[in-house]
Amino acid sequence: MNENLLHLTDVSKSFGEVNAIEHVSLDIKDRSVIGLVGGNGAGKTTLLRMMAGIYKPTTGRVYLKDGQNVDQMRSLLGVVPESTGLYSKLTAWENIRFHSRIHGIEDSVAWSRTIRFAELLDMQDSLHRYTEGFSRGMKQKTALLRALAHGPSILLLDEPTAGLDVTSARIVRKLVQRLKEEGGTVIYSTHHLAEAEQVCDRIIIVHNGTIRADGKPEELLQLTNTHSLEEAYVSLTSEVARPRQEDSIKTSKFALLWRRLFTRRHTYEVNEDE
């Protein structure tokens, strides 16, 4: 029987007047791949950041199986954010080694874990190259290796295949499948339903800051009386999606002044004959 590793109890998160997440309760079990599926502004990234201990909930609690708050035990988590945040003047291995040392992992142990997954990602020949010239796919692979090198209990992935070519995206999914086969726990944020169906054995649909459904793909079809995940998603998220949080942020007076001073205004004549 799978054991609960991570708990979210009546969690909400607000940024000023914006309620990004409202009253979410979840239990994350070990040896599973859980998909967080939702559009832009749904609240997926905010939810992941609370699971990673980066954001503290406005209300509610995020804690591990031993009762400790997640922000006190980040070494148990591996996180791959949408923006990789690599140091461009370091090699791939130096980025990974630096991160592992922060977690107190010996270089030999980190290297052993890195080379094992690097072979799966076809990265073993690039570990000693500087990341400054890496493609988007190579940076994403490096970020994955960095997140895995300290042996986390839970891997959190925020849009791991966004912007990747078909081959790189397929390799990332293959890695997730391998982790699943080896008994790992992965939380996989995506807005691609087909991708979630490929790699996840449990799908959580997030819309406008709330959980609309949570279950196996076949359970979501049964819940909505539909024949595809796309139909199920549409039926569960029928109301208009809210704007992304940054869309509601007012432009500062300084920014407005900067635009007036340094942005040229262009006028265009309309030729009615065209």
pLDDT by residue (tens digit) across 91-148?
A: 999 999 999 999 999 999 999 999 999 998 999 999 999 999 899 899 999 999 999 9
28, β-bridge pairs: 6
Q: What is the pLDDT of residues 192-219, one digit of tens each?
A: 888 898 899 999 999 999 999 999 999 9
Q: Where are the domains of the chain?
A: 4-243
What is the dotted CATH code of the domain comprising 4-243?
3.40.50.300
Q: What is the pTM of this model?
A: 0.82
Reduce the secondary structure of 179-244 to three states and give it as a string.
HHHCCCEEEEEECCHHHHHHHCCEEEEEECCEEEEEECHHHHHHHHCCCCHHHHHHHHCCCCCCCC
Q: Which residues are within 8 A (CB) of 55 and not within 5 positions of it... i.e. 6 or more apart?
A: 13, 46, 49
Q: What tens digit of pLDDT does each residue of 166-196 get?
A: 988 999 999 998 898 888 999 999 988 888 9
Given a cut of 60, whether residue 265 has pLDDT beyond it is no
